[in-house]
Structure 1
């Protein structure tokens, strides 16, 4: 494949996962059409234009999830599209999280796929979904149950609990599969768990907030998360695009780790930082949907070698410090 033919699009390019996708794609010799909401905002694009290869092979495009047709120019002439853009926020300032998160995720996904359906050169579309679209079934998990890519979250259960992020990811992925099948689009979804690792962007996203909030806190909530490194997530996207045999969904996740276990690792790595010693709440609800066995058979077929959590946590804190994103 010639350099001129290696053109791909990344939506949500300024985000945590999107930024690493752009970085690795540039390293692999691709020309990247990167969509952001505001190409003139330094916080959104400065870290992208400074990446190796960006001067020669990075093109910035303005696109909004809710604006039909806004992705058309970005996907034109591409051989692959990585749809990483999706709203994710937990803010009391947002009055209607259901409408703003769910509607934007579903409509945005359809807008991107409608643009892709017009371009004959596109060989495959990779969408960034989540384990939130896998695990929220409402069904109790028996000890011998192994979760795999056939599982889908129940939209009714997500809505009942007002888990709007889970609902947004579930509905967006469902409409993506339906649209792709109806329009002959070769689509693959990547479904990561909680994402850790060093940020390239100059902001703290939702994924890293649980780690950042531990520093300097008086108490902690002993919730259970399943961490996966952002670099592994980005590479999984690219391998799923490049591998002819890749198909369907790929779940990426680590073993369940309580906040108390994560804190033990962080205290050993950073004795100079102030981490809480006292647990205030143990969240059983989260644990029900995190303490399970996840099949790694399919994702390992891509050739992924997962980053150990200790390495990921160290790189996370070091990366946050480098970006001056820690208050200490």
Structure 2
């Protein structure tokens, strides 16, 4: 296990996961270099600079996925790189890339080249997502699920649009699936001394240190929030995965750090502590929080019989601290604190 202080790059350092990860790494005594798209965003910069040890152990860099060469100065001299940033909306001002997939893959290639060129980066840890890991049977054009979901599963990219629910969700699935496949190619390249880990995370819930409700938490809580767009994304997630994998923000941060601290690690790992249907999520709120009304159109669906079959992280010794009840309860309390429930 790596126990010494390291210099670590975190791309997308002001996002839901990125900010929490930066805070945790600083708490552990590491030196952190975090990238943001805009260093003039005083709310995001102020948040990061407010963390304990930030005044001595944190440096902020401007870097944008749509300008991938900007990441290079941040990476040079680092021991580990967490690539958390991902484009959610296509920059219509971009003449170089036609969509988020092209931009995300180009940034990944540039970041990987920087890691190799640095001579110091030991491991790149890519934050993936289970939307890239559908157990749908591709040969049946998505007409059925495999018995279980594990690291061998990849989302078919020939699914009809109804599986995605919206063009936004479809673009996100494409972008994350193609990006993860690209980063994992480096695990097979000869003479590549940089280890590559892809951590496929479930839908993240729990608390947030941000001043707004992040998209992941909004999606998980779309039923008690009665949010039609977020709920459509939640049902689309169940539609391609059979059920919804969930994980607490604290567990997903710990899993990232765990993957960094291993003496040697490479490959694809799934990260989720529970596997729920949207009906089970809604039932929890109806049972434990009847004071929060859920409209009929958001009561959820039963999903499929697909099982969670991934044990790779657990086999290495990683242990989750939050089950579904704690994830959903912390999410409720977080949104209550933020005034989301009247």
What range is the shorter-chain TM-score in? 0.7 to 0.9
Aligned to 2:311: 297
Using the alignment, how far apart are the partners of 1:100 and 1:325 within structure 2? 35
Q: Is the 8 A contact 2:187 2:266 kept in 1?
A: no
Cα 1:189–1:2, aligned 2, differ >3 Å: closer, same or farther? Answer: closer
Query: SS at the partner of 1:237?
Result: helix
Tell me if 1:278 matches 2:296. Answer: yes
- Call closer, same or farther: CA 1:158–1:106 in 2, change over 3 Å: farther
2:276 pairs with 1:257: yes
Give distance in 1, aligned partners of 2:300 and 2:323: 25
Q: CA deviation at 1:82?
A: 0.2
Answering whether residue 331 of structure 2 is matched by residue 316 of structure 1, we say: yes
2:151–2:310: 8 Å Cα contact kept in structure 1?
A: no
How many Å apart are 1:86 and its aligned residue?
0.6
Query: Which residues of 2 match residues 79-94 of structure 1 at below 5 A?
Result: 79-88=79-88
Name the TM-score, length of structure 2 as normaliser: 0.81
- The residue aligned with 2:25 is 25
Aligned counterparts of 2:149 and 2:282: Cα–Cα separation in 1:
27
State the shift of 1:312 in Å: 1.7
Deviation at 1:41, TM superposition (A): 0.5
Partner of 2:114: 115
Deviates more, 1:249-258 or 1:230-239: 249-258
Deviation (angstroms), 1:262: 2.2
* 2:211 equivalent to 1:207: no
Aligned to 2:130: 131
Question: Residues 172 and 312 (structure 1 numbering): CA distance in 2 closer, same or farther, change over 3 Å?
Answer: same
1:178-189 to 2 correspondences below 5 Å: 178-179=185-186, 181-182=188-189, 184=192, 185-189=194-198
Q: Count matched residues.
A: 314
Q: Deviation digits for residues 208-263 of structure 1, max 9, x if unmatched?
A: 12344434539977945221112111111111111124321110124332334323
Counterpart for residue 147 of structure 1: 149
Paired with 2:281 and 2:298, the residues of 1 have a C-alpha distance of: 16
2:176 is aligned to: 169
Is contact 1:203–1:325 with CA below 8 Å preserved after alignment? no
CA-CA distance at 1:193 after TM superposition = 1.4
Q: Distance in 1 between matches of 2:178 and 2:225?
A: 37
d(CA) in 2 for partners of 1:215, 1:78: 42
Could you tell me which runs of 5 or more consecutive residues in structure 2 were left unpaired when the two chains were aligned: 139-143, 236-242
Q: Distance in 2 between matches of 1:125 and 1:42?
A: 29
Instruction: Note the C-alpha offset of 1:192.
Output: 0.9
Partner secondary structure for residue 215 of structure 2: coil
Aligned residue for 1:228, secondary structure, equals strand
For normalisation by structure 1, the TM-score amounts to 0.84
